[in-house]
Structure 1
Amino acid sequence: MELMKLRPFIPSGEDYPLAQRFFEDLGFEKVYSDSGLSIFRLGEQEFFLQNFHNEEFQSNYMVELLVADLDAWWTHIQKNIRDKRYPIKFKEPTLYPWGKREIHLIDPAGVCWHIAESR
């Protein structure tokens, strides 16, 4: 068996256009969009942004994004996301007991992104 790609469906929360802008500002390219679904890509990685809102689900959904340079991502978040007044939360790069250095970012829908250094 050969796996070609895994593309998660990420809920947008109640404001689909806001979520689209957020992910574009985060650095993803929107390669397709309609009223119910958008496809975002960065390099070879993609995800579906689904126009879907369920607060209980969103606040319990997590995604891990492995990156080569965590400090560059932190600088990018500080520079391109922080002052845009998105309803988000984030925590600076931290080394956790499980051995990964991560940024925790809660997106506009409440999804927790673990942005971690790939080792």
Structure 2
Amino acid sequence: MANVLVVDDSSTMREIVSSYLRKNGFEVTTATDGRDGIAQLRADPAIRLVVSDVNMPIMDGLMMAEKIRTELDNKSVHIIMLTTEDNPLMRERGKAIGVTGWIVKPFRGEAVLGPFKRLCGLQP
């Protein structure tokens, strides 16, 4: 059972983020877009943190976040957007949906390691 779900349509980004997290004690599963992410969440109730890109085909990250909060009625999973998008209006939309945090790429694992561990309950 995973405690982190990494959702990105870029296989390179999925590998960078998931490899770093695995090396640092996380159980990670991945998804290629928002629809796949929803399916992974339904299949694995142990997921505590979703790290997702915003711009993806089929279902984008914000739509996925909205469905997590409404259709899945999951208010407990933390959702972090890891994206190139730095638009304040998009951030506000994310916040209104229930996105926990917003990180602008590039991914700097050392900067998020502590907060991610706390969100997953891996450290106090």
TM-based fold match above 0.5 = no
Larger RCO of the pair (alpha carbons < 8 Å, separation 6+): 1
Tell which structure's C-alpha radius of gyration is larger. 1
Whose helix proportion is higher, 1 or 2? 2
The two structures have a TM-score, normalised by structure 1, of: 0.30
The two structures have a TM-score, normalised by structure 2, of: 0.29
